Amino acid sequence: MHLPSWLSEAVFYEIYPQSFYDANGDGIGDFAGMTEKLDDLSALGINAIWVNPCFESPFMDAGYDITDYCRIAPRYGTNEDAIRFFNEAHRRGMRVLLDLVPGHTSDRHPWFLESKKPEKNAYTNRYIWTGNAFDYPEGFRLMSGLSDRDGNYMVNFFSSQPALNYGFENRQYDWQLPPDHPDCRATLEEMKHVMRFWLDAGCDGFRVDMAYSLVKNDPLFTGTKRLWNEVREMFEREYPDAVLLSEWSCAEQAIDAGFHMDFYLHFNSVGYNALFQTAPFDYVDKAEAAPCFFHRDGKGDVTRFLNEFLPKYRYIRGRGYMCLPTGNHDMVRYSHLRSEEELKAIAAFILLFPTVPFLYYGDEIGMRYQIGLTSKEGGYYRTGSRTPMQWSDGKNKGFSAADQTYLPVDSAPDAPTIAQQRTRAGSLWHTVRDAVALRKSDPAFGADGDFRVAYAKEGAYPFVFRRGRYVISVNPSERSERIALDGRFKTVFSTAGRTTHANGVLDAGGIDLTVFEDLAPAAGGDTN
Ligand code: GLC
Ligand code: CA
């Protein structure tokens, strides 16, 4: 199987379209606005973009509840506006992934309206229904009493998101169809049609929502892997340069399933939280985060991350990548409870690790998590990470000319903006830009480049690793630490400039990430 070569060098940026830039002054972001801001992303060095769902939807879950997969939501513009965005991105050397939501639709999707009808029709089995309205088997999230059709339907996430039917790998009841049933096959064919529609329009692939969840009662993911491998074959044949990125957070399973990349996230694994602890529910209101490696208190343990990450990395190496994000639309922003110096170390780490980096919009300036906002469009705690982008000191921080914006703009007098940070030397924006440039300056830093752990001890700081002839020391703790490290080093990048090396001793200053070039590197590549 073919791994598109652009991925190793890719630096992704996630755009939440509602909140990025409002070009027509109606208070909500749109495609024309995203197109207008492409040069700002170029200035940061971004060469790939993921756009959150932008399709027609009643927005009960921010657009993860679709009513027409092939139509851009009118509030964001038209299909032509999206195509213009793809073209303008391509002209600047950027790729664009759309968000594919294959597992469920809105309960207002025309397919579902047909499926609810008591009369049998082409959509009767497009969704998962029990045999009758009093059929309540354990272990399924069922909605009942909402249709004339005699049955209960399964939902995936919110109650407004009925599950599409790709069949059951293990079947206990008559109403559970096998994945190769013609009606389940029809669901998959429909989703392939949607993918071809947008790939033909010019997008470069998809981030796939809840990718692990399509075939039900599939504890070993046998059916789900079969399904995605079939989609991958379609990509290999028809769209060899396009990519599939899963929201799965289990790279072994996802890459075996045929995905090119999988997100390494705050669920399904412990490593992300061992590094950053962004798990939301239990700590947004607390003064202190749970212990994690990237915290100035120095109470984290990088080996908790590595023990999980390294086996995954070795297992998928050469076949696919893990994606490491600064955050996303489901997480509390990484700026929460952290200083600018801490954010610099995190961003640089993410940009120099042997994974594919993703910057969540606004994280390049440390936009803040907004505590206590009223939920918007199914956001709940996530709403605080979804507020309008802060471009300048103008009206609505330059996001929109409207009097009322989609969500309130951060009104703090010291709220960070792109304009301020671009003019302030030493800002987070500058560090991110420099780290992006460093990553792109040498394939050694790319996702395919060599990677070796040079120093990692349980409960200790710093963490030191090598990328080819470069040595990266990261010490997020505020204590400085000394360790022995052989080599002759020259500093090429540093977030705080506090780390030095002389006579076989690395002096890792507090809250600093420094990159050295090893002037006398020992032979030998990747040993992980
Ligand atoms: C994914 C999305 C999330 C959405 C959910 C249901 O986790 O990232 O925002 O609510 O799926 O589609
Ligand atoms: Ca608008």
Sign of the dihedral through C-alpha 425, 429, 434, 435: positive
- Ligand 1, pocket-test mutation among 157, 245, 332, most atoms within 8 A of CB: 157
Are 19 and 29 spatial neighbours (Cβ–Cβ below 8 Å)?
yes
Type of residue found at 1: M
The rounded distance, in Å, linking the Cα atoms of 273 and 266 is 6
Query: What's the pLDDT at 527?
Result: 63
Q: Please, which residues have CB within 8 angstroms of residue 104's CB and are 6 or more apart in sequence?
A: 64, 65, 155, 156, 157, 161, 162, 163, 164
CA 379 – ligand 1 centroid, Å: 10
- Cα of 105 vs centre of ligand 1, distance in Å, is 12
| Beta partners for residue 129, in sequence order | 153
Length of the chain: 528
CB of residue 65 inside a 6 A radius of ligand 1: no
**Tell me, what DSSP letter sits at residue 104?**
B
Closest to 401 (Cα-Cα) out of 11, 91, 33? 33
Q: What's the CA-to-centroid distance between 64 and ligand 1, angstroms? A: 6
Residue 210 Cβ < 6 Å to ligand 1:
yes
CB 320 within 8 A of CB 260: yes
Beta-carbon contacts of 290 under 8 Å, excluding residues fewer than 6 positions away, are 273, 277, 279, 282, 283
Kindly report the backbone phi and psi dihedral angles of residue 157, in degrees, each rounded to the nearest multiple of 5, phi listed first: -135, -95
8 Å CB contact between 226 and 80: no
Give the environment of ion ligand 2: residues with CB less than 5 A: 22, 24, 26, 28, 30
Tokens of 246: 């899963």
CATH 3.90.400.10: which residues of the chain? 104-165
Q: Strand 153-154 vs strand 205-208: parallel, antiparallel, or unpaired? A: unpaired
How far is Cα of residue 349 from the mean position of the Cα atoms in its chain?
16
* pLDDT at residue 271 in the model: 94
Q: What pLDDT, on the 0 to 100 scale, is given for residue 281?
A: 52
> Which residue stretches of the chain have pLDDT < 50?
none
Beta strands in 11-159 (DSSP E): 12-15, 48-51, 55-56, 68-72, 95-100, 142-143, 153-154
Task: Considering the chain, tell me which residue range(s) the CATH 3.20.20.80 domain(s) occupy.
Answer: 5-103+184-441
Q: What share of the chain is helix, strand, coil (3-state, %, to 5)?
A: 30, 20, 55
User: Coil, helix or strand for 489?
Assistant: strand
In 149-292, alpha helices (H): 182-201, 222-238, 251-256, 271-275
Burial 335-347 (b: 16+ CB within 10 A, else e): bbbbebbbbbbbb
What is the token pair recorded at 64?
A: 């993860």
> Does the domain spanning 104-165 belong to CATH 3.90.400.10?
yes
HSE-CB for 51 with a 13 A CA cutoff: 30
CATH 2.60.40 in the chain: give the residue spans: 451-518
| Three-state DSSP class for residue 32 | helix
CA 101 to ligand 1: nearest atom: 12
Cβ contacts of 518-525, under 8 Å, gap ≥ 24: 518/466, 518/469, 518/470, 518/471, 518/487, 518/488, 518/489, 519/487, 519/488, 519/489, 519/490, 520/487, 520/488, 521/468, 521/469, 521/487, 525/450, 525/452
Residue 250 gets which letter from DSSP?
-
Give the whole-angstrom CA distance, residue 225 versus residue 218.
10
For strands 95-100 and 48-51, give the pairing. Answer: parallel
Å from CA of 385 to ligand 1 middle: 14
Tell me how far apart the alpha carbons of residues 23 and 202 are, in angstroms, rounded to a whole number: 22
Q: What is the pLDDT of residue 283?
A: 54
* 3-state DSSP assignment of residue 235: helix
Q: How many CB atoms lie within 10 A of CB 42?
A: 14
Model pLDDT, residue 521: 77
Which ligand approaches the C-alpha of residue 406 most closely?
2
5-103+184-441 CATH = 3.20.20.80
Q: What is the CATH number of domain 451-518?
A: 2.60.40
